[in-house]
């Protein structure tokens, strides 16, 4: 089970992500964005941060960085990809996920816990969870308002590719529980094959009870289990 964590200029959650993944038994190495990715990896993580200072549009410049060609190849081969926060923005800009992340409706940087309704448990990212699942995980973003075209939204919903929705503590995806104005309360979506996940909340920041919640650890634990399964295939 091998994971690579991409580091861009301005990434700032790379070390946290490594710490949290290693805590669930996933061996990690850091991937500097300008260097080719050598060796086989099971999982590539695009961590949170402010790659390239969020210049132009969040994630836009990282999306044309050389390492994204390797990420795309990895995804085409069926490898797992997890984009967290800025990583989600990069995946959308790079065309690996549909839609875009825009400035929060309230125009404020939001840094607080949110509740997430988990829509599916049969994915590599959620298999360690139990139904019905509501996670408490922090967000920390200025540009987390997910938008996409009506046909893209229909495709996401029909394909059951919305994995996480902002909700209240009881799991109701209400307007009041939507922190940033995301379409249909979307907090995380899957790629067409279900192997690429982009999510705005930070599971690595909720990976230990000492951090206020260990719910995010379940997402990482799911991945750890999924990677073990891959190893035995």
| Nearer residue to another protein within complex by CB, 149 or 231 | 149
Q: Binding another protein by CB under 8 A: which of 15, 110, 121, 147?
A: 147
202 catalytic per annotation: yes
Whole-angstrom CA distances from 175 to 84, 166, 172, 186 are: 23, 9, 9, 11
Q: Does 139 bind another protein (CB under 8 A)?
A: no
Decide if residue 121 touches another protein (CB under 8 A).
no
Candidates 11, 51, 104, 178: give the one binding another protein (CB under 8 A).
Answer: 104
Least distance (Å) between residue 88 CB and another protein:
14
For this structure, is 204 an active site residue? yes
Instruction: Tell me how far, at minimum, the Cβ of 72 lies from another protein, in Å.
Output: 15
Q: Which of 27, 56, 111, 192 binds another protein (CB under 8 A)?
A: 56
Candidates 64, 111, 157, 192; binder of another protein (CB under 8 A) is 64
Angle at which helices 215-232 and 14-23 cross, to 10°: 70
Nearest approach in angstroms of CB 187 to another protein is 18
Segment 179 to 198, residues that bind another protein, using CB under 8 A: 181
Q: How far apart are CA 195 and CA 198, in angstroms?
A: 10
170 in catalytic set: no
By CB under 8 A, tell whether 10 contacts another protein.
no
Residues in contact with another protein by CB under 8 A are: 56-57, 60-61, 64, 92-93, 98-100, 102-107, 145, 147-149, 181
> Any idea which residues carry the catalytic annotation?
85, 202, 204
């Amino acid at each position: 089970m091998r994971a690579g964590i991409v580091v861009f200029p301005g990434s700032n959650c790379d070390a946290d992500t490594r710490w949290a993944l290693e805590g669930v038994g996933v061996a990690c190495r850091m991937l500097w964005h300008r260097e080719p990715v050598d060796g086989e990896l099971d999982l590539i993580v695009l961590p949170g941060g402010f790659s390239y200072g969020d210049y132009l549009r969040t994630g836009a410049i990282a999306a044309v960085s050389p390492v994204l060609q390797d990420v795309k190849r990895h995804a085409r081969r069926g490898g797992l990809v997890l984009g967290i926060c800025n990583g989600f923005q990069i995946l959308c800009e790079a065309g690996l996920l549909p839609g875009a992340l825009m400035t929060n409706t309230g125009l404020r940087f939001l840094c607080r816990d949110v509740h997430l309704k988990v829509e599916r448990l049969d994915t590599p990212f959620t298999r360690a969870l139990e139904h019905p699942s509501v996670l408490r995980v922090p967000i920390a973003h200025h540009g987390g308002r997910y938008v996409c075209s009506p046909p893209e939204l229909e495709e996401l919903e029909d394909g059951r590719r919305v994995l996480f929705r902002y909700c209240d503590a009881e799991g109701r995806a209400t307007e009041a529980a939507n922190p940033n104005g995301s379409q249909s309360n979307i907090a995380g979506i899957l790629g067409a094959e279900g192997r690429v996940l982009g999510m705005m909340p930070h599971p690595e920041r909720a990976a230990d009870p000492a951090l206020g919640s260990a719910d995010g650890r379940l997402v990482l634990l799911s991945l750890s289990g999924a990677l073990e399964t891959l190893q035995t295939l």
